[in-house]
Amino acid sequence: MSDADRVAGEGTHVVPTKREELQFVRELLHGRWRHIILVHVFLFFQHSPVFMMPILGGLMLDLVVDGGESRLKWLVFYTSISLVLLIQNIPSCVLRQRYLSLVTRGMGRDLRVRICTQLQRLSLHYHNNTSVGKLQTKALRDVEQVELVPGLMANNVFLFAAQCVITVIAVLFRAPGALVFFIVLVPLAVAIQRVFGRRIGDTVHQYRRSLEGMTSRLSDMLTMIPVTRAHGVEEEEIRAVSSKMDRVFNEGFRFDRIIAVFGASSWVVMQAVQALFLGGAVYAAFQGWLTVGDVLMFNAFFIGLSNALNTLLNTLPQFAQARESLRSIQEVLRSPDIEDYRDKKQVDTPAGHFRFEKVTFVYPRSERHALKNVDLDIPAGSSIALVGGSGSGKSTLISLVLGFIRPTGGRLLLDGRDLAGLDLRSLRRHVGVVTQDTVFFSGTIYENINFGLREANEERASRALRLANAWEFVAELPDGIHTRLGEDGIKLSGGQRQRLAIARALIRNPRVLILDEATSALDVESEELVQNALNRVMRNRTTFMVSHRLATVRHADRIVILERGHITHMGSHGELMEGDNFYSSAVRRNLRFWG
Ligand code: ADP
Ligand code: MG
């Protein structure tokens, strides 16, 4: 893997060592060994005709030459065994498939659940830096590749090994000297693997990277379509996506070519050895060292063996792909960028007293302080408004309160306890967030309002909608609270969506309320409706608000002015208006506090 790859990804992925890969495979197979063994047992039975036919064929042919008196009896016997062997193939095949499915589908399900669990634990920082398309590829395509492995192991590797053992036994019985010819196959196969193995592995890796690059660019393209259209840069977008497609094409082409060369080479080598072998066996029969039956049997074995070897070699690329996919999945599962909840204290019912002590924050890969030495005491149930120019640190301060990021210096306390020692999930259950970007999934208003709640309750939902001044317009919709939103549903105005988002935040009766530009998408009329609602619900909840609307800000108990990550002024509306500062001058000039 090149350095460029390291930087291009999420910045945290590390190639696992061989031992870690093995450990991972062991984990995957854990609890499935019984089924795996059954797969192999039934597979062996299923294939026993293939193993036994050469032996039976050889024996039958020798009956022609020197069968003696009872040769008809023997012929009937051998034929019956052949038929029995053939008939058992059907039940064996069905059972083999049953256990194989249990293993592969079970592994696929477990892997996907593990990926999803991990994705839910990974920090927002990780998600903001990793494309959805790339993650989908891992959960869908890569898992499918891994699901193929148990089947390959059984059908190609195990059958080959079984074929070897049976051949060796049969040859030892009939003509031990002929074993030499079979042994030639081993160094040949090893040599072919040596020549191609590495190159195939590298090509597969490059191909996977190009595919991930393409899918993440594709998902970016999809999210950017409205912006692209608005700026009339469709051509540029198509060109950018096409270059990723070109890379996939080139890598795929390279991969196909190497597979073709490899497949053909190993086939020709095997066929050539087969021809030589047949010649040698016939010569041995001329000399009377082997019977005609032996020649037939050995030749059938040899063909079987070299074909099995060829199949084995040809699965090499598939194994390489599966290994690559395993690595790709491990990249997510092993990403250290997770929110660690172990040994963290639960937050039961927080009072909501926040205290910043000399809090500093610097974003990764940034030199500037987003916040520096912020001291702030926010008593439970009080409200503060953050105002300041764009980039002054308002959103950073909110992210700290939510625990999405941790102070790089200083401490942030909730009710006297350091946030670093708390289970943030349990804290966030007591926090309601309303932002400018309202996201709803395709479902009814009712389902959206109840999102993530264990028990949905119509009574509670309608109360929350009333508090958010959304009840009137919801009640007028065709299906009321059960009207569908999203793709196949109705379109709402910005103000309506905003009020639904407020209702969603309120339904949990949160102790802490975060309003990040919550009123900015509203027209004057609905602003008043929402503002009334907010004033009502802010009472007795610790509230952080970011807004550039005077009507929203002035109701806060305290207004904090941020400039370049520092607090420059702080006070109530009245107090700040007495002095000369960012806030008072903006209010006097009747400006908004651009955020
Ligand atoms: P505001 O919300 O007041 O506009 P922010 O808190 O978003 O300000 O940003 C404060 C500073 O941190 C800005 O200089 C901004 O460029 C920087 N910043 C914000 N988010 C990131 C990020 N994810 N990575 C690096 N720097 C960031
Ligand atoms: Mg911001």
Residue 6 has pLDDT above 60, yes or no: no
For residue 138, pLDDT beyond 90: no
Q: Is the CB of 594 under 6 A from ligand 1?
A: no
Q: What is the DSSP letter of 345?
A: B
- pLDDT tier for residue 5 given thresholds of 50, 70 and 90: very low
So what's the pLDDT on residue 380?
Answer: 93
The CB of 403 under 6 Å from ligand 1? The reply is no
Q: What's the 358 CA to ligand 1 centre distance in angstroms?
A: 18
pLDDT tens, 74-122?
A: 999 999 999 999 999 999 999 999 999 999 999 999 999 999 988 888 8
Report the distance separating Cα 227 and Cα 578, nearest Å. 44
pLDDT at residue 16 above 90?
Answer: no
Q: What angle do CA 374, 375, 380 make, to 5 degrees?
A: 120
Give the 3-state secondary structure of residue 199: helix
Answer for the pair 43, 96: CB distance below 8 angstroms, yes or no.
yes
Q: pLDDT confidence of 230, banded at 50, 70, 90?
A: confident
Longest dimension (CA), the chain: 125
Q: Is 368 in the pocket of ligand 1 (CB under 6 A)?
A: yes
Mean pLDDT, range 250-262, rounded to an integer: 93
Mean pLDDT across the chain: 85
Average pLDDT on 513-517 reads 87
How many alpha carbons fall within 13 Å on the CB side of residue 90? 3
CB of 364 closer than 6 angstroms to any ligand 1 atom: no
Q: What kind and span of H or E run contains 355?
A: strand 354-361
Phi, psi at 386, each rounded to 5°: -105, 125
**Which residues are within 8 A (CB) of 38 and not within 5 positions of it... i.e. 6 or more apart?**
95, 99
561 within ligand 1 shell (Cβ under 6 A): no
Is the per-residue pLDDT at 1 higher than 50? no
CA distance 82 to 186: 30
Question: What is 341-430+510-595's CATH topology?
Answer: Rossmann fold (3.40.50)
Edge-to-edge order in the sheet of strand 409-414: 371-378, 354-361, 409-414, 417-418
Residues lying with their CB under 5 A of ligand 2, a single-atom ion: 395
Q: Considering the entire predicted model, what is its pTM?
A: 0.68
CA–centroid distance, 534 to ligand 2, in Å, is 20
202: nearest Cα among 7, 2, 18, 8: 2
Task: Tell me, using a 6 A CB cutoff, whether residue 590 lines ligand 1.
Answer: no
Question: Which of 245-249, 407-411, 503-507 is least confident?
Answer: 503-507
* C-beta 129 within 6 A of ligand 1: no
CA distances from 377 to 338, 381, 535, 570 (A): 29, 12, 21, 11
**For residues 8-13, average pLDDT:** 39
Q: With beta carbons less than 8 A apart as the criterion, state whether 489 and 442 touch.
A: yes
Closest atom of ligand 1 relative to the 389 alpha carbon: 3
User: What percentage of the chain has pLDDT greater than the value 90?
Assistant: 30
CATH of domain 8-333: 1.20.1560.10
Q: Which of 308, 323, 386, 315 lies closest to 354 in space, CA to CA? A: 386
Residue 204 predicted with pLDDT over 80: yes
CA of 544 from ligand 2 middle (Å) equals 13
Q: Where are the domains of the chain?
A: 8-333, 341-430+510-595, 441-506
Question: Is pLDDT of 340 > 50?
Answer: yes
Helix (H) or strand (E) holding 128: helix 124-129
User: Predicted confidence band at 522 (pLDDT cuts at 50, 70, 90)?
Assistant: low
12: pLDDT confidence band, cut at 50, 70 and 90? very low
Which of 360, 395, 402 best tests ligand 1's pocket when mutated (most atoms within 8 Å of CB)?
395
* Ligand approaching nearest to the C-alpha of 397: 1
Choose the residue to mutate in 337, 396, 398, 436 for probing ligand 1, maximizing ligand atoms within 8 Å of C-beta.
396
More confident residue, 69 or 1: 69
Point out the ligand 1 atom lying closest to the alpha carbon of residue 562: 3
Ligand 1 site-directed mutation target among 366, 397, 564, most atoms within 8 Å of CB: 366
Q: Is the CB of 393 under 6 A from ligand 1?
A: yes
At 366, the amino acid letter reads: S
The CA distance from 559 to 397, in Å, is 14
Nearest CA to ligand 1 atom 12: 370
Give me the pLDDT at residue 393, please: 92
